[in-house]
Amino acid sequence: MQTVTLNNGVTMPILGFGVFQIAPDLTEQAVTDALAAGYRLLDTAAAYGNEEAVGRAIKNSGIPREELFVTTKLWVQDTGEENTARAFDTSLRNLGLDYLDLYLIHQPYGDVHGSWRAMEKLNREGRARAVGVSNFHPDRLVDLIERNEITPAVNQIETHPFFQRVDDQELMRERGVQIESWGGFAEGKNNLFTHPVLGGIADRHGRSVAQVVLRWLVQREIVAIPKSVRADRMKENIDVFDFALTDDQMASIATLDTGGSLFFDHRDPAAVSRISNLRIHD
């Protein structure tokens, strides 16, 4: 498995398995199958409601803890210094772990600076080997960097062929932040899996469109966390390290960029209100 090295020296697999929108009763088996397929990066979140199922799969896998890279995320409801410390402990208990490899602020709302102070402390204590953010636009990311001691190791953002985040990635590279993609397949929007450009490239390599998209992300040095509940698709998705896209093919995919989200804008007032008021526990 190819890896990236984060700004604090921690290594992270470039390809992992995400569990967003996988129901808790299906998550344990899905993670079990993903681990069997060779994935060692697992990505969950408190808001997904399936941390306990991920933890059971890890426990029952027999894989040494040090071989895994486990990420979870802090929800908006729990921002602030004291709340973050409590939420972190809850996530650790749910996962049945002694430490996390990566802890992310899930959304750029609420008391993120208070949360970051707590996360810096968790990082210094070794309870979170790396800390980072998710869904932060460049202005919010730079603000966090400028006002704190530890620079986020990762920013997990919507990144796929129709929203390629080239300028965002360049700024992150300059600031020492690793870009990580969520929604790498755009959830099939814009007919991604039958798109003629992607399909043509897939045919030339004898691969699937999904493999081409993941290879495109890997070649851009973007961490990706595709999800599936099908074991055969998991195996297919991780099998992208024995071929390469040509410069012309990378350039063809670059033409697909629309420059905007296919889901929602994190700066839209209605989206901010909806996300900020979503409660995941009492």
Strands 131-134 and 69-74, sheet pairing: unpaired
Report if residue 194 sits inside a domain. yes
248 band by pLDDT with thresholds 50, 70 and 90: very high
Q: What are 90-144's pLDDT values in tens digits?
A: 999 999 999 999 999 999 999 999 999 999 999 999 999 999 999 999 999 999 9
Percent of the chain topping pLDDT 70: 100
Report if residue 32 sits inside a domain. yes
Q: What are 150-205's pLDDT values in tens digits?
A: 999 999 999 999 999 999 999 999 999 999 999 999 999 999 999 999 999 999 99
Cβ atoms 236, 211 nearer than 8 A: yes
Cα angle 168-158-20, degrees, rounded to a multiple of 5: 150
Report if residue 136 sits inside a domain. yes
Report if residue 252 sits inside a domain. yes
34 band by pLDDT with thresholds 50, 70 and 90: very high
How much is the mean pLDDT over the chain? 97
Sign of CA dihedral 80, 100, 155, 276: negative
Q: Which two tokens stand for residue 96?
A: 């049945």
Q: What is the C-alpha to C-alpha distance for residues 64 and 198, in angstroms, rounded to an integer? A: 38
Number of independent structural domains in the chain: 1
Report if residue 282 sits inside a domain. no
The CATH number of the domain holding residue 255 is 3.20.20.100
Query: What average pLDDT does range 60-67 have in this prediction?
Result: 96
Enzyme catalytic residues: 48
Q: What is the C-alpha to C-alpha distance for residues 103 and 72, in angstroms, rounded to an integer? A: 5
User: If we measure between CA atoms, which residue out of 159, 186, 187 comes closest to residue 172?
Assistant: 159
Report if residue 281 sits inside a domain. no
- Residue span of the structural domain in which 51 resides: 3-276
Q: What is the pLDDT of residue 208?
A: 97
User: If we measure between CA atoms, which residue out of 113, 61, 38, 51 comes closest to residue 88?
Assistant: 51
15 band by pLDDT with thresholds 50, 70 and 90: very high
- Tally helices (H) and strands (E) across the chain: 11, 10
Q: Which pTM was predicted?
A: 0.95
> b/e per residue, 75-93, with b = 16+ CB within 10 A?
bbbbbbeebbbebbeebbe
Q: What is the C-alpha to C-alpha distance for residues 83 and 220, in angstroms, rounded to an integer? A: 36
Q: What is the pLDDT of residue 70?
A: 98
Q: What is the C-alpha to C-alpha distance for residues 126 and 99, in angstroms, rounded to an integer? A: 7
Percent of the chain topping pLDDT 90: 99
Q: Which residue has the tokens 């730079």?
A: 142
Q: What is the C-alpha to C-alpha distance for residues 6 and 128, in angstroms, rounded to an integer? A: 13
